[in-house]
Amino acid sequence: MAGCAALPGLLLLSTPTPAPTPTPRVIMMVATPTESPAGQESADSIEARRIAVYERVAPAVVNITTQALSTNFFFGTVPEEGSGSGFLWDTQGHIVTNNHVVAGAQQIAVSFGGDTSLPATVVGTDPINDLAVIKVDSVPDGVLPLDLGSSAGLKVGQTAIVIGNPFGQFERTMTQGIVSAINRTIQTDTTVLRGVIQTDAAINRGNSGGPLLDSHGRLIGVNSAIYSPTGTSAGVGLAIPVDKVKLVVPVLIEKGRYPHPWLGVEGLGYELSPSLAQAFQLPVESGLLVAQVYQGSPADQAGVRSATNRVIYGNRRYLVGGDVITAIDGIKLATWDDLSAYLQEKTDVGQTVTLSIVRDGKETTVQATLADTPESWQGQ
């Protein structure tokens, strides 16, 4: 997947300012319209609705350009430019985009079209959900925030519309496809995005942070990444669902960051299997081997124990002797991602959870009150 990804081909969609590309030859094909069967929407009415969506939504879609400082081996510190998309959230000038579009930027400029650009400041960021809010001091006359839809009831096959700025050059480009899948989990090299919407609407670099819309022009997602072996659209676009955006953005505007529940345990990927359980003489065949408990963390305060010994099993070294977490609030855990998903999707900061653990061969439970994830962990 693209850009910052743990899997080959997953690309985040902001883009450095590109060199001009050759203008391709365009062959236009004209088809003779036919009458629609009774009871079906005519091609003309579908087209009219699509045009209406564009005319209403496009003015609120912005082109975001950034400048950051990077270190070059030969020349020292040099400026680096990038671009992405965003959209107007409210009449106060708040604009929603992806965190990776503005991360590390020293300067941010926003264009509502044409040659005029406005300086913008970062209001809040949420690296874990790859969302950010920036703000401009004024909004052009007549530009209205987007209407918000819902992602809870999305069905595969529904119309999906994208408006954004591919490659940072083609402002307010509109493409259309369908909702190809829902509830995807996508691993990048900085975070795990859950509940993601997949679409085949054409999305390319520079579309990051732009809106994914339903057939009525309501926001259903924020475009974030594509899966592509070439770096251009391969028909697999990925968007953060609007229901998550509704939760995160108001908090970013109010507080500057979004709180994420944190337990404070680390397993280094150690997950039990029947063979490991037999080798380590444990009474359970699945669960999470606790390698480290962070001092002062909720897990530490709950008394969760970290590893005490190192052993070699097969061709791998394991830290053992600590607790094995087998369930949280009665939900069995087989992988560390199971625990992460439960914390992010089912709990809140300040909530008390019950951990089922195995300690010294015996099963017991402890309770931990979740804290806010430290900023140094954001995106991990």
| Distances in whole angstroms, Cα of residue 124 to Cα of each of 15, 50, 84, 248, 349 | 21, 33, 17, 10, 18
Helices of type H across the chain:
43-57, 99-102, 242-255, 274-279, 298-302, 336-346
Q: Which residues are registered as beta bridge partners of 319?
A: 310
Buried b / exposed e over 151-176, threshold 16 CB at 10 Å, is beebeeeebbbbbbbbbbeebbbbbb
Select which of 83, 208, 224, 233 is catalytic: 208
CA atoms of 308 and 305, how far apart (whole Å): 9
Select which of 83, 94, 100, 323 is catalytic: 100
Phi-psi region of 157 (alpha: psi -120 to 50; beta: other; left: phi over 0): left
Q: Note if 228 is an active site residue.
A: no
Select which of 126, 130, 214, 323 is catalytic: 130
**What stretch of H or E contains 84?**
strand 76-88
Q: Note if 130 is an active site residue.
A: yes
CA atoms of 150 and 219, how far apart (whole Å): 8
Q: Note if 100 is an active site residue.
A: yes
User: Hunting for tokens 């519309």 — which residue is that?
Assistant: 161
CA atoms of 140 and 70, how far apart (whole Å): 33
What are the tokens at 3? 């850009």
Which residues are annotated as catalytic? 100, 130, 208
